[in-house]
Protein backbone atom coordinates (compact mmCIF):
# COMPACT_ATOMS: atom_id res chain seq x y z
CA UNK A 1 0.00 0.00 0.00
CA UNK A 2 1.35 3.42 -0.97
CA UNK A 3 2.25 5.95 1.71
CA UNK A 4 -0.63 8.28 0.92
CA UNK A 5 -3.10 5.39 0.90
CA UNK A 6 -1.88 4.40 4.36
CA UNK A 7 -2.21 8.02 5.49
CA UNK A 8 -5.80 8.10 4.25
CA UNK A 9 -6.58 4.88 6.11
CA UNK A 10 -5.08 6.26 9.33
CA UNK A 11 -6.99 9.54 8.89
CA UNK A 12 -10.20 7.55 8.44
CA UNK A 13 -9.44 5.59 11.63
CA UNK A 14 -9.10 8.86 13.56
CA UNK A 15 -12.20 10.49 12.03
CA UNK A 16 -14.33 7.39 12.55
CA UNK A 17 -13.22 6.73 16.14
CA UNK A 18 -13.59 10.35 17.17
CA UNK A 19 -17.11 10.46 15.74
CA UNK A 20 -18.05 7.37 17.76
CA UNK A 21 -16.63 9.02 20.89
CA UNK A 22 -18.25 12.39 20.09
CA UNK A 23 -14.92 14.17 20.26
CA UNK A 24 -12.96 16.40 17.96
CA UNK A 25 -10.74 14.40 15.61
CA UNK A 26 -8.04 17.03 16.07
CA UNK A 27 -8.15 16.42 19.85
CA UNK A 28 -7.89 12.67 19.20
CA UNK A 29 -4.98 13.24 16.81
CA UNK A 30 -3.14 15.49 19.24
CA UNK A 31 -3.69 13.04 22.10
CA UNK A 32 -2.30 10.18 20.00
CA UNK A 33 0.71 12.30 19.08
CA UNK A 34 1.31 13.24 22.72
CA UNK A 35 1.15 9.57 23.73
CA UNK A 36 3.61 8.61 20.99
CA UNK A 37 0.93 6.80 18.97
CA UNK A 38 0.40 9.50 16.39
CA UNK A 39 0.60 8.94 12.66
CA UNK A 40 4.05 8.89 11.14
CA UNK A 41 2.96 10.36 7.82
CA UNK A 42 2.29 14.12 8.00
CA UNK A 43 -0.40 13.71 5.33
CA UNK A 44 -2.59 11.98 7.91
CA UNK A 45 -2.53 15.10 10.08
CA UNK A 46 -3.17 17.31 7.07
CA UNK A 47 -6.25 15.26 6.17
CA UNK A 48 -7.67 15.13 9.71
CA UNK A 49 -7.12 18.82 10.33
CA UNK A 50 -8.37 19.80 6.87
CA UNK A 51 -11.57 17.78 7.15
CA UNK A 52 -12.22 19.14 10.64
CA UNK A 53 -11.54 22.77 9.71
CA UNK A 54 -13.85 22.57 6.70
CA UNK A 55 -16.41 20.14 8.13
CA UNK A 56 -19.42 22.44 7.76
CA UNK A 57 -18.74 23.10 4.06
CA UNK A 58 -17.85 19.46 3.42
CA UNK A 59 -21.05 18.22 5.06
CA UNK A 60 -23.08 20.84 3.22
CA UNK A 61 -21.72 19.64 -0.13
CA UNK A 62 -22.23 16.00 0.78
CA UNK A 63 -25.82 16.68 1.77
CA UNK A 64 -26.40 18.49 -1.53
CA UNK A 65 -24.82 15.89 -3.81
CA UNK A 66 -25.73 12.63 -2.03
CA UNK A 67 -29.10 12.49 -3.71
CA UNK A 68 -31.71 10.85 -1.51
CA UNK A 69 -29.33 10.37 1.43
CA UNK A 70 -28.87 12.37 4.61
CA UNK A 71 -25.54 12.30 6.41
CA UNK A 72 -27.17 10.67 9.42
CA UNK A 73 -28.50 7.84 7.27
CA UNK A 74 -25.10 6.97 5.80
CA UNK A 75 -22.97 4.30 7.43
CA UNK A 76 -20.31 6.03 9.56
CA UNK A 77 -17.44 4.59 7.53
CA UNK A 78 -18.98 5.80 4.26
CA UNK A 79 -19.70 9.24 5.70
CA UNK A 80 -16.11 9.70 6.84
CA UNK A 81 -14.60 8.30 3.64
CA UNK A 82 -16.79 10.76 1.73
CA UNK A 83 -15.50 13.58 3.93
CA UNK A 84 -11.90 12.59 3.20
CA UNK A 85 -12.55 12.17 -0.50
CA UNK A 86 -14.40 15.45 -0.77
CA UNK A 87 -11.63 17.24 1.11
CA UNK A 88 -9.05 15.92 -1.35
CA UNK A 89 -11.32 16.61 -4.31
CA UNK A 90 -12.06 20.23 -3.41
CA UNK A 91 -9.08 21.30 -1.30
CA UNK A 92 -6.28 18.90 -2.29
CA UNK A 93 -3.94 21.02 -4.34
CA UNK A 94 -1.84 18.17 -5.68
CA UNK A 95 -4.50 15.44 -5.94
CA UNK A 96 -6.20 15.08 -9.33
CA UNK A 97 -9.98 14.76 -8.96
CA UNK A 98 -10.25 11.27 -10.45
CA UNK A 99 -7.50 10.07 -8.09
CA UNK A 100 -9.37 11.42 -5.06
CA UNK A 101 -12.51 9.57 -6.17
CA UNK A 102 -10.60 6.38 -6.89
CA UNK A 103 -8.76 6.41 -3.56
CA UNK A 104 -11.96 6.99 -1.58
CA UNK A 105 -13.69 4.20 -3.47
CA UNK A 106 -10.79 1.80 -2.82
CA UNK A 107 -10.77 2.68 0.88
CA UNK A 108 -14.47 2.07 1.35
CA UNK A 109 -14.26 -1.15 -0.67
CA UNK A 110 -11.95 -2.56 2.03
CA UNK A 111 -13.92 -1.39 5.03
CA UNK A 112 -17.63 -1.09 4.38
CA UNK A 113 -20.60 -2.78 2.73
CA UNK A 114 -20.79 -4.27 -0.75
CA UNK A 115 -22.89 -1.31 -1.90
CA UNK A 116 -20.55 1.32 -0.45
CA UNK A 117 -18.01 1.55 -3.31
CA UNK A 118 -20.73 2.37 -5.85
CA UNK A 119 -22.31 4.85 -3.45
CA UNK A 120 -19.06 6.67 -2.64
CA UNK A 121 -17.99 6.66 -6.29
CA UNK A 122 -21.40 8.03 -7.32
CA UNK A 123 -21.46 10.86 -4.78
CA UNK A 124 -17.87 11.97 -5.36
CA UNK A 125 -18.24 11.53 -9.12
CA UNK A 126 -21.31 13.78 -9.00
CA UNK A 127 -19.32 16.43 -7.14
CA UNK A 128 -16.37 16.06 -9.53
CA UNK A 129 -18.67 16.69 -12.51
CA UNK A 130 -19.96 19.87 -10.84
CA UNK A 131 -16.66 21.07 -9.36
CA UNK A 132 -16.58 24.20 -11.49
CA UNK A 133 -20.05 25.15 -10.26
CA UNK A 134 -19.24 25.03 -6.53
CA UNK A 135 -19.44 28.40 -4.85
> Could you tell me which residues come within 8 angstroms of residue 66 by beta carbon, excluding any fewer than 6 positions away?
74, 82, 123
pTM: 0.95
Q: Which is nearest to 104 in space by CA: 91, 114, 24, 118?
A: 118
Counting Cα atoms < 13 Å in the Cβ hemisphere of 46 gives 13
pLDDT for residue 107 = 96
pLDDT for residue 38 = 83
Q: Report pLDDT digits (tens) over 12-62.
A: 999 999 999 999 999 999 998 899 888 889 999 999 999 999 999 999 999
pLDDT for residue 135 = 66
Question: Which ranges constitute the DSSP H helices of 1-135?
Answer: 3-20, 25-34, 42-53, 55-65, 76-91, 97-111, 116-129
**CATH superfamily to which 3-133 belongs:** NusB-like (1.10.940.10)
Q: Report pLDDT digits (tens) over 78-133.
A: 999 999 999 999 999 899 999 999 999 999 999 999 999 999 999 999 999 999 88
Q: At what angle are helices 97-111 and 3-20 packed, to 10 degrees? A: 60
Q: Which is nearest to 66 in space by CA: 106, 125, 12?
A: 125
Q: Please give the torsion angle defined by the CA atoms of residues 60, 20, 120 and 2, in that order, rounded to the nearest 10 degrees.
A: 120
Amino acid sequence: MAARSKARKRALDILYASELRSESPVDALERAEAEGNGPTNPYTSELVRGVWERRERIDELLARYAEGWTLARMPAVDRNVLRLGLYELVYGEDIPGPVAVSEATALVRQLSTDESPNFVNGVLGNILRHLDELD
